[in-house]
Amino acid sequence: MLNHLFIKSVYNSDQQRTYFDAVDSFWTAYCEAVPWDIERETVRELAILMLARVDGKSPVEYIDSKATAETLRSVAKHALRSKISSIAEFRTMVENETDTL
């Protein structure tokens, strides 16, 4: 779900705040429902899933802009190479990368 929302936040960057609000709502509800902390692992998985949805066997069909695809690749690769460990840091990375579109 988070991956879908983050991809859409890049694809529909003019509505990015709405998608980020949905991310925050989803993540808050998830954290309230489960007794374990998997935020760091979730951030890593988000990066892998994002890259897979751009360059994997099941690419997102609506990503038709090379700039959008490159932004998603850049976010994913940067997240994998960095030490970010929170959804908030991932969101900031997406926001910063989208500013260059």
SS (H, E, C) 46-95: HHHHHHHHHHCCCCCCCCCCHHHHHHHHHHHHHHHHCCCCCHHHHHHHHH
pLDDT in tens, 50-89: 999 999 998 999 999 999 999 999 999 999 999 999 999 9
Q: pTM to 2 decimals?
A: 0.94
Distances from the Cα of 54 to the Cαs of 24, 63, 80, in angstroms? 23, 8, 15
Nearest to 37 by CA among 87, 81, 1: 87
Domain boundaries, the chain: 2-98
List pLDDT tens digits, range 19-49: 999 999 999 999 999 999 999 999 999 999 9
Tokens of 101: 């579109």
Cα 44 from Cα 63, distance rounded (Å)? 22
Residue 101 has pLDDT above 80, yes or no: no
Hey, what are 32's tokens?
């309230």
